[in-house]
Amino acid sequence: MKIIDFLNTIIADANENEINDFLSVKEASIIAEIHKLWNEYKQNPVSGTAENQGDILVRKGEKEALAGNIDTGREVNNTGSDKDNIEKQLGTDDLKEPVNINEAEDIPLDIKINDASTIIIDMGIIQGGVKQEYNQKTREAAINKAFNKQIQSIHISLPNAKVNQEYNVEFDFEKLGIPEIGEIEFEGLGEIGLEYAAEEKRIKGMPTTAGDHKIKLLIKRKNWENGKRIFECNIILIINPDPRLLWNSIPTLTSISYYKPDSAEQFLEAGLNKVKFGKKCIVAASQRGRSHAHEGKPRDDDFAMFFDEQTGWYIMTVADGAGSAQFSRRGSQIACETVIEVCRVQLTAQDKDFDKHIENFYKEKEPKITEKRKMVGDSLYTIIGAAAFKAYKNIEKEAAGNNNPIKDYSTTLIISICKKFKFGWFVGAFWVGDGGIGIYDHKIQFLKVLGESDGGEYAGQTRFLTMPEVMQPNEIYRRLRFDIVKEDFTSVILMTDGITDPKFDTDANLNKIEKWNDLWADLSSEVNFDARNDETAGQLLKWLDFWSPGNHDDRTIAILY
């Protein structure tokens, strides 16, 4: 190599000031300087690290191209270079231009040089081509470092995944804004059920394991060959647990006071086989909510039903014991039991009279705002109104007998009594607290909600049967409802708020037929209402386990159909 080529190399490596300095001295002193440096090098050839070469050797053009990206990065750890390639690249002209980052090579790990500029000069004089090789390798190291720095500086975040929920997100490395990336691969995806589909540029699969997973992105620069460096970038992929699996199901201890099973279901054939009783049956189910199951707490809801074969009355009731009241499971139970008891007795006692009032009311012309309506209402008051009041009294007695405040037994209550008449079905109801009750006819899209919810979502004023102010005669009367509907209605449904909250959301929605349509469609998809046997109750209980985020209260439903 001629000295002038060597000088060109230096010029290419130096900045403007350095070049000016260099050119201002006479040639003889340059040669003297070179000799001095060579002697120093011979005495102390190996020290320092590869890292500090980068800054010095990246030439002006590259410095601009890689603006700010060069620092003392990690150790470069690859070996080998293609000699032809180097020679091709190291033509003098070529060296004056910024090196294309993609064509550069890696630097051997074991190169240890005290002062890079010194070495280059010496190599240039004494060892000719070797200098160029080192020059190339050190430049390559700098490029790698810059590349690595670039990779480390980008913030790659993958959308969070969820266990057992299909994951499929785009990962297009071309969008990272680093054109030098040639090829990528992931490490750590397989273990968690995912894969990188390179052709589709997507990460996909079914995540298996919850947690904050460290994924490695392995990056090869363009024109990567065996032996060249592979860059790594750590990415955290968060996989959320399946919320359903976070809920424990701890059985309620049977030793607690007022124990009741965590679920219950019942099917009553009722008047199914008798035309005069309307050929309907009743089914009910009650399931402890996930929030209770999670802590091994008992079910606070309850229900009861009865069919009187003498009179043909169908009686259904559901009750929701207040979550904050420690013995509410017993409150709801007493309420349901009492309702059946009182209704049976009263309906038997008043059977003929009550039937007559209902018939008279039916025969009356619209608008039915007369005495005849009141007669039905008054009877209803002495039947289900009395049942509700007796339920309250029985709970009060239970509380007093155990020296507990009645508040500890707080419960809501919904009652319905139904009977087939020649002219249609009579449905009477009493309702205190939240939840809901309605007569639903799918075919003619008829809905009648029998009362108003005391949901109190504006004022937080939920009402309970156990509140003395609710158990006043006019308050009880105010909560009574009745109607006469066509024979082939779809169902009468009583629900606690464990169902109305997720299925209706607001009180206003309880009056929307679309919501009832959705409910009935949902129910029918899991419950075979045509079968009308014991299995129906099991299916209904299973349906109660439906998933609705944030809604994990006890659920109870009773259906006449």
Partner 1 sequence: MRRLPVYLLLDTSGSMMGEPIEAVKNGVQVLISTLRQDPYALETAYLSVITFDSSARQVVPLTELSAFQMPDIQATGTTSLGEGLTLLANKVTAEVTKTTADVKGDWKPLVFIMTDGGPTDNWKKGLIDFQKQKFGMVVACAAGQAADVNVLKQITEVVVQLDTADSTTIKAFFKWVSASVSTGSKKIEDSGKDIAGISELPPPPPEVNIVV
Closer to partner 1 by CB, 68 or 460: give it: 460
Q: Which amino acid is present at 364?
A: E
- Residue 288 CB, nearest distance to partner 1 (Å)? 14
Closer to partner 1 by CB, 45 or 241: give it: 241
Q: Are 519 and 491 in contact (CB under 8 A)?
A: no
**What residues does 25 pair with on adjacent strands?**
none
Closer to partner 1 by CB, 271 or 321: give it: 321
- Residue 291 CB, nearest distance to partner 1 (Å)? 5
Half-sphere exposure of 317 (CA within 13 A, CB side): 30
Question: The dihedral of CA 512, 513, 517, 522: what is its sign?
Answer: positive
Binding residues vs partner 1 (CB under 8 A): 155, 157, 159-160, 162, 210, 212, 238, 240-241, 243, 246-247, 290-291, 294, 323-324, 457-458, 460, 462, 505-509, 548-553
Closer to partner 1 by CB, 106 or 497: give it: 497
**What residues does 420 pair with on adjacent strands?**
425
- Residue 319 CB, nearest distance to partner 1 (Å)? 17
Reading phi first (left if > 0) and then psi (alpha if -120 to 50, else beta), residue 111 is in: beta
- Residue 559 CB, nearest distance to partner 1 (Å)? 25
| Residue in this structure with the two tokens 């592979």, named with its chain if needed | 230
Retrieve residue 7's tokens. Answer: 């000088």
- Measuring CA to CA, which residue among 91, 117, 118 is closest to residue 103? 91
Q: Are 498 and 556 in contact (CB under 8 A)?
A: yes
Closer to partner 1 by CB, 85 or 509: give it: 509
What DSSP element (H or E) covers 32?
A: helix 27-43
> Strand 446-449 and strand 436-441: pairing?
antiparallel
- Residue 434 CB, nearest distance to partner 1 (Å)? 9
Q: In the sheet that 480-485 helps form, which strands lie side by side, from edge to edge?
A: 301-307, 314-320, 413-421, 424-432, 480-485
> Strand 424-432 and strand 491-495: pairing?
unpaired
Residue 552: other Cβ atoms inside 10 A: 19
- Residue 531 CB, nearest distance to partner 1 (Å)? 33
- Residue 425 CB, nearest distance to partner 1 (Å)? 30
In angstroms, rounded to a whole number, what is the distance separating the alpha carbons of residues 57 and 120?
9
Closer to partner 1 by CB, 220 or 294: give it: 294
- Residue 371 CB, nearest distance to partner 1 (Å)? 35
Closer to partner 1 by CB, 297 or 390: give it: 297
Closer to partner 1 by CB, 140 or 497: give it: 497
